[in-house]
Chains A and B, each alone.
Chain A
Amino acid sequence: MSDPDVIVVGAGPAGLAAATDLARAGRRITVLDREPEAGGIPRHCGHYPYGMREFHRLLRGPDYAARLRAAALAAGVTLRTRTTVTALRPGGAVEITDDSGPATVSARAVLLATGVRETSRAARLIGGEKPGGVLSTGALQGLVHLNGQRPFRRPVILGTELVAFSALLTCRHAGIRPLAMIEPGPRITARSPAIWLARLMGVPVRLNTDIAAIHGRTRVEGVTLSTPDGPQDLATDGVIVTGGFRPDAALLRGSHLAVDPGSGGPVIDRWGRLSDPAYFAAGNLLRGVETAGWCWSEGRRTARAILDALDGHLPAPGGARLDLGHPGLRLALPQVIGAGSGAHDRLQVRLAAPARGRLALMQDGRTLVSRRIDSLPERRLSLPLPPVTGTEPVILTILEAP
């Protein structure tokens, strides 16, 4: 097989959207995905609402994924599933393995769209034992929607990000009745309508509460909660550990490409271009979680940047580095900002802790742009991204209210 013009790694909404647009523009595109079927995470989210932005109708995740696949195939994209990328090499050489063994494919541009995963039970340092029946939302949805299995009946759900409510919908679909939603913070992370779903299903939300320990040798038998009133034991047969999304950036970490310690994803510029200009990135790999529609749109905008790059129309790499100047900030991207306009015309920001004040982008002590915020971690925040000149670092900070 001759080398494609562009390799896309990851066949989720961002990767497929970009691949489809690039193929429609007449480029030869190969999408690599390690799963048996293209479509990404929506494949196992068997609930609404997907597709409003993309297809102007309300779809379930698997139907949405099927439409993305069909659009890519109709545009002439080559989809290679069950293909695992094992290394990224300078200049756009991608090492892969599939059933026929290891190989290298190369292209003038490579788009990384490998998405996100949830923070594991281990990385959260939850104590106790390690019985079966402790699942991420991703694992639960795979079991329920891909296998038709019901791994437990009365679990507790840890977390209240939007995905926790996706887990709740999956539970409802599978006839699983969660005992409670557990939130370590003082407020529900997802925006308010989500809470009605928990109320509708009769699932209490317990704030300021954490899971200190999980009990059971082979199967979950109970948990110990740390609550404002002290420890409390609860009998349960499962734990769904939700959210805490982080970029699935294993390939980046083993590569020559620059990684942003704040986001855990790649360092990009306005065009979604990485430290090696043969590489681009889009979708949740950039930051942790956004909606499928957001990723789809980001994939399309990055596809335009890639087309410009292939035609030699992108400005040379470079610009000012973005630094975070306040401990309440967790990430902001793009991390390299120059002049011009491209795939990212807004700065995407996430908080490390609840914050109130004025979010400001500054250079040389001058405020370039600012806005009032009163927000929580994991919620979407953004600022318009002005053209920036020079290489003097740009500082993003939170100015406290006077």
Chain B
Amino acid sequence: MTGSDPASGPAGYDVAVIGAGVVGCALARAFTLAGARVVVLEKAVDVLDGASKGNSAILHTGFDAPEGSLELACIREGYRLYHEVRERLGLPLVQAGAMVLAWTEEEVAALPALMDQAVANGVTDIQPLTGAEARGQEPQLSDRVLAGFRVPGEHLIDPWSAAHGYLLQALANGAVLMRQAEVLTGRHAEGLWQLATTAGPVSAGLVINAAGLWGDEVDRRVTGESWFTIKPRKGQFVVYDKTAAALAGHILLPVPTKITKGIVVCRTAFGNLLVGPTAEEQEDREHASLDRETLQALMRRGTEILPALARHEVTAVYAGLRPATEEKHYRIRTDLAPGYICVGGIRSTGLSAALGIAAHVVRLAAREFSPLADPVWPRMPNISVEGPRDWQCPGHGGVVCHCELVTRREIEAALSGPMPATSLAGLKRRTRVTMGRCQGFYCTAELARLTEGRLAQPMLDPGHV
């Protein structure tokens, strides 16, 4: 438990948010700023351990979201709110812009409808491109590109700092985070929910299910039944070396299909180049397995789009799971049980829409709190390529991770404070240690020393020699 007054816990929170993914973090922030006493219940050892740990890190405009949908409304509002809060929270924005590119005649034929949809969705600054114009702006593009259009407002963000920043602002203003607190059952009586968790009982007036990949299961445990089924959709990604980031300024999007946005090639906020994701249905909600042939296919696809990519090294590979359901749209409902809101099926636009979803759910909840007049705004340390890094400032204690230039001071900060990292994965998301070219060849031993006895899930369970 972090930042809590144990006495206030069992007495009852106004709001319990189940799940500390990006949506749960944004919900915690929104309700806290609205004046509610909030507890966040996360079953994993650290936050962002489910669907939010692996995505393509793009802030979408919503140009291709279903017209008139709740998803579109949340993306639009989330996009606006991110711009509104990002400077005060110290969150980066890499203004990349996107190109939707057509590689076949069939895709060319689909472009006008997509552009109409973008305009209908309020994204009116799109610009049609011939193949030559696309290559004029992106000289490394394959000459097989036929046409496309430009969406100037699509940007790159740091997917982890954003969510951490939302949650840290909630914590700084009185919210409580409980990790390793899996919700087991729920009982509603006299206007109050009693939740049994693996970290003890919690009571709250309003329960919000933001459990992502476990959304249907949490519905079942708390309300007794589930009205949708999670159909995990795996996405594998290949991350290229920082030298490849110079190959494309824009986010290069394919013409989307009904199922998926397709395989994207884009820079990251950390200065790498990303190719992915795949869209693979699977039953398993825990294990996102990588597959060599699939990764090789992604690399081939990347090279078809940017032929020069063939000369660049792969830095990392990862797989994420999106909490898709049997239907495409967001599954947000308030009528399942009194004082209970399900925020489910936020399958692939959660990062862009999180702040919008949170604002929407606060309105749906329609509870009278007194909004904070002068909330605290914690600032996130910058680990992106936008803006100065800690190694550029004196007193950093030396660089520990040489590939990503992560300093001892940054690691110490991530291991302390109101939301210390509790696993190596959590430390990586906060600092980028071991996420560079050498993947820990140099800094593993130093990190093992710095983190010894300080992680709930240690880097290693070593015996001693």
For the complex, what is the distance from the CA of A98 to the CA of B291, rounded to whole Å? 40
For A86, the chain B residues whose CB sits under 8 A away are 391, 405
Is there an interface contact between B396 and A117, defined as CB atoms closer than 8 Å?
Answer: no
B465 at the interface (CB under 8 A from A): yes
B68 at the interface (CB under 8 A from A): no
Give residues 423-448 of B contacting A (CB, 8 Å): 423-424, 437-442, 444-446, 448
Choose one: B290, B295, B438, B465; the contact of A120 (CB below 8 Å): B438
Is there an interface contact between A101 and B395, defined as CB atoms closer than 8 Å?
Answer: yes
Residue of B with least CB distance to A140: B444
For A261, the chain B residues whose CB sits under 8 A away are 311
Known: A127-B292, A130-B318, A142-B445. A149 touches B394 (CB 8 A): no
For the complex, what is the distance from the CA of A102 to the CA of B241, rounded to whole Å? 24
B289 at the interface (CB under 8 A from A): yes
Residue of B with least CB distance to A148: B465
The interface centre, meaning the residue of A117, A120, A174 with most chain B CB atoms within 10 A of its CB, is: A120
Give the Cβ gap from A293 to chain B, nearest Cβ, in Å: 22
For A97, the chain B residues whose CB sits under 8 A away are 391-392, 396, 399, 405
Give the Cβ gap from B205 to chain A, nearest Cβ, in Å: 35
Is there an interface contact between B402 and A132, defined as CB atoms closer than 8 Å?
Answer: no
Known: A102-B391, A149-B448, A151-B460. A128 touches B441 (CB 8 A): no
Choose one: B392, B393, B464; the contact of A148 (CB below 8 Å): B464
Is there an interface contact between B441 and A122, defined as CB atoms closer than 8 Å?
Answer: no
For the complex, what is the distance from the CA of A173 to the CA of B317, rounded to whole Å? 32
Give residues 97-112 of A contacting B (CB, 8 Å): 97-102
For B448, the chain A residues whose CB sits under 8 A away are 143, 147, 149
For the complex, what is the distance from the CA of A117 to the CA of B440, rounded to whole Å? 10
Give the Cβ gap from B227 to chain A, nearest Cβ, in Å: 29
For the complex, what is the distance from the CA of A164 to the CA of B115, rounded to whole Å? 56
For the complex, what is the distance from the CA of A127 to the CA of B278, rounded to whole Å? 15
For the complex, what is the distance from the CA of A173 to the CA of B465, rounded to whole Å? 8
For B449, the chain A residues whose CB sits under 8 A away are 147
Is there an interface contact between B395 and A99, defined as CB atoms closer than 8 Å?
Answer: yes
A125 at the interface (CB under 8 A from B): yes
B225 at the interface (CB under 8 A from A): no
Choose one: B287, B398, B440; the contact of A99 (CB below 8 Å): B398
Residue of B with least CB distance to A101: B394
For the complex, what is the distance from the CA of A36 to the CA of B288, rounded to whole Å? 37
Residue of B with least CB distance to A214: B290
A144 at the interface (CB under 8 A from B): yes
B243 at the interface (CB under 8 A from A): yes
Give residues 1-27 of A contacting B (CB, 8 Å): none
A299 at the interface (CB under 8 A from B): no
B397 at the interface (CB under 8 A from A): yes
A82 at the interface (CB under 8 A from B): yes
A34 at the interface (CB under 8 A from B): yes
Is there an interface contact between A143 and B286, defined as CB atoms closer than 8 Å?
Answer: no
For the complex, what is the distance from the CA of A97 to the CA of B402, rounded to whole Å? 11
For the complex, what is the distance from the CA of A35 to the CA of B444, rounded to whole Å? 13
Is there an interface contact between B438 and A132, defined as CB atoms closer than 8 Å?
Answer: no
For the complex, what is the distance from the CA of A139 to the CA of B463, rounded to whole Å? 16
Range, interface on chain B: 35 or more
For the complex, what is the distance from the CA of A138 to the CA of B446, rounded to whole Å? 12
B462 at the interface (CB under 8 A from A): yes
The interface centre, meaning the residue of A142, A175, A217, A253 with most chain B CB atoms within 10 A of its CB, is: A142
For the complex, what is the distance from the CA of A176 to the CA of B316, rounded to whole Å? 28
For A138, the chain B residues whose CB sits under 8 A away are 441-442, 444
For A192, the chain B residues whose CB sits under 8 A away are none
Give the Cβ gap from A174 to chain B, nearest Cβ, in Å: 5
Give the Cβ gap from B234 to chain A, nearest Cβ, in Å: 12
A301 at the interface (CB under 8 A from B): no
B296 at the interface (CB under 8 A from A): yes
B81 at the interface (CB under 8 A from A): no
0 or 1 for each of B307-327: is its CB under 8 Å from A? (1 = yes): 000010111111000000000
Residue of B with least CB distance to A114: B402
0 or 1 for each of A25-57: is its CB under 8 Å from B? (1 = yes): 000000000111000000010000000000000
Is there an interface contact between A98 and B398, defined as CB atoms closer than 8 Å?
Answer: yes
Is there an interface contact between B315 and A139, defined as CB atoms closer than 8 Å?
Answer: no
Give the Cβ gap from B2 to chain A, nearest Cβ, in Å: 21
For the complex, what is the distance from the CA of A394 to the CA of B402, rounded to whole Å? 37
For the complex, what is the distance from the CA of A253 to the CA of B404, rounded to whole Å? 14
0 or 1 for each of A161-203: is its CB under 8 Å from B? (1 = yes): 0000000000001110000000000000000000000000000
B106 at the interface (CB under 8 A from A): no
For the complex, what is the distance from the CA of A5 to the CA of B238, rounded to whole Å? 43
Residue of A with least CB distance to B399: A84
Give the Cβ gap from B54 to chain A, nearest Cβ, in Å: 10
Give the Cβ gap from A126 to chain B, nearest Cβ, in Å: 7
B459 at the interface (CB under 8 A from A): yes
Choose one: B289, B394, B402; the contact of A127 (CB below 8 Å): B289
For B291, the chain A residues whose CB sits under 8 A away are 127, 213
For the complex, what is the distance from the CA of A144 to the CA of B292, rounded to whole Å? 30
Is there an interface contact between A117 and B465, defined as CB atoms closer than 8 Å?
Answer: no
A118 at the interface (CB under 8 A from B): yes
For B444, the chain A residues whose CB sits under 8 A away are 135-136, 138-139, 142-143
0 or 1 for each of B119-149: is its CB under 8 Å from A? (1 = yes): 0000000000000000000000000000000
Complex A-B: 9 CB contacts under 8 Å = A34-B399, A122-B317, A135-B444, A143-B462, A147-B448, A150-B465, A151-B460, A153-B463, A253-B243
4 closest Cβ pairs, A-B complex: A142-B445, A101-B394, A120-B439, A139-B444
19 new A-B contacts, CB < 8 A, other than A34-B399, A125-B292, are: A34-B402, A97-B396, A98-B398, A99-B394, A99-B398, A121-B439, A123-B313, A123-B439, A125-B290, A127-B292, A128-B289, A132-B460, A142-B444, A143-B445, A143-B448, A144-B465, A217-B286, A218-B423, A261-B311
B residues contacting A by CB (< 8 A) are 239, 241-243, 286-292, 295-296, 311, 313-318, 391-399, 402-403, 405, 423-424, 437-442, 444-446, 448-449, 457, 459-465
